[in-house]
Amino acid sequence: MDIGAIFLLLTVLVLIGLFVTRPFFANRRMPIISGSDQELSTLLAERDRLITALQELDFDHTLGKIPTEDYSGMRSDLLLRASNVLRKLDVLQPQNSGVVDAESRVEAVIAARRADAAIEKTDQKAASDDDLEELIASRRAARKERSAGFCPKCGKPVLRSDRFCPHCGKSI
């Protein structure tokens, strides 16, 4: 090997080595999360969990899975916990606080989610009705094209639009 090829090979190996070891020398700084940001994130997640639990509780009660005497106690407990979480959120986020108390805010969020679910149900019902109408129309069209009888020669079914039997070729 001549000296130029050796230097070229050595240069390529050094570049590959630098490329491979670059992540070890990179300056990695993890973002510092303050305690209030972490508490805020925890409270927001707890709020979403409690609202979902309230919705599921209401749904289970309407299905008859939860008796009325148990339902009222469970719902009031969940509303109390949700209002406590919202009060803590108001302390951390003062711009969200208003004249409306925490329990009514929880109820407003639940009502909005119920309305969204009702809209989705009506959209699905309308779509299923359209599909049903299309299916009925296609069946009626296929029925018009159904057989007009049987071939007098071979006895196979023929359609109304046929001039000759598709099986034996006899003129109809």
pLDDT the model gives residue 97:
45
Smallest CA-to-CA distance from 172 within 155, 154, 142, 151 is with 151
Residue 83 within any structural domain of the chain: yes
> Which structural domain, as residue segments, surrounds residue 49?
35-94+105-118
pLDDT tens per residue across span 139-165: 777 666 566 778 888 888 888 778 888
pLDDT the model gives residue 15:
95
Residue 166 within any structural domain of the chain: no
Residue 28 within any structural domain of the chain: no
11: exposed, middle or buried (C-beta count within 10 Å: 0-12, 13-18, 19+)? exposed
Residue 13 within any structural domain of the chain: no
Instruction: Provide the number of structural domains found in the chain.
Output: 1
What is the pTM for the complete model shown? 0.42
Residue 137 within any structural domain of the chain: no
pLDDT tens per residue across span 2-45: 898 999 999 999 999 999 998 888 777 766 767 778 888 899 99
pLDDT (mean) for 99-127: 71
Residue 66 within any structural domain of the chain: yes
> Taking the C-alpha atoms of 18, 20, 21 and 23 in order, what is their torsion angle to the nearest 10 degrees?
120
Residue 77 within any structural domain of the chain: yes
Residue 129 within any structural domain of the chain: no
